[in-house]
Amino acid sequence: MSIDIDIIKARAKNEYRLSKVRGEAMISVRIPGGILPAHLLTVARDIAETWGNGQIHLTTRQKLAMPGIRYEDIDNVNAALEPFLREIEIELCDVQVEDTKAGYLAIGGRNIVACQGNRICQKANTDTTGLSRRLENWSIPALIISKRSSLAARMIARRRQWPIWELLAWRKCASLPIAVSVAAPA
């Protein structure tokens, strides 16, 4: 059976990874800080059972990966990811997403990984999950931009908005490290 799909475009536009199995991909769901509302696990289960191979992989980078997604089901899976985009990216992380039914806008390199911080740990002094969610707002736009000049301009603009902590952000498309500032936790 021949499938008319540009998997390179689907991979570059969304959060899909090619699989060893011909005609299948894996979707990864970003969970900044590693904490998500419990009912979203049901959404992930439904996606894995309906369009995937019934398995969910908890990655070391605090993502949920659902393998076995057929290429022809990518549009359906993107629409089913709407609760993740709405509740995690928009409501928790304040990321601007234009179309929640279109899936993730870019293949997200690394998820922002964090311990549970002062939400659970007695010795922690920082809300690391909250910080990772604020950083998500910075990292998502950087993943969407492909031109060097646009990326540098976006990162510099972000630096002016968040003048407190300094981070070094290394990007494949930038030849030099760029210092980016983020707001201190409240």
Sorted by where each begins, the domain ranges of the chain are 7-144, 148-186
CB 27 within 8 A of CB 77: yes
**pTM of the predicted protein model:** 0.69
Contacts (Cβ under 8 Å, ≥6 apart) of 33: 62, 112, 114, 128, 129, 130, 131, 132, 133
Choice between 180 and 74, residue whose per-residue pLDDT is larger: 74
Per residue in 40-65, pLDDT tens?
999 999 999 999 999 999 988 888 99
Q: What is the mean pLDDT of the chain?
A: 73
Contacts (Cβ under 8 Å, ≥6 apart) of 126: 117, 118, 185
- pLDDT confidence bin for 66, thresholds 50/70/90: very high
Q: What is the CB neighbour count within 10 angstroms for residue 60? A: 8
Which CATH code of 3.30.70, 3.30.2320, 3.90.1150, 3.30.1050 fits the domain covering 7-144?
3.30.70
The angle, 0 to 180 degrees and rounded to 10, between the axes of the packed helices 128-144 and 148-161 is: 150
Per residue in 159-176, pLDDT tens?
544 433 333 333 333 333
CB 110 within 8 A of CB 15: no
| Displacement of CA 92 from its chain's centroid (Å) | 13
Helix H or strand E encompassing 17: strand 16-18
Write the DSSP symbol of residue 103.
-
Choice between 174 and 13, residue whose per-residue pLDDT is larger: 13
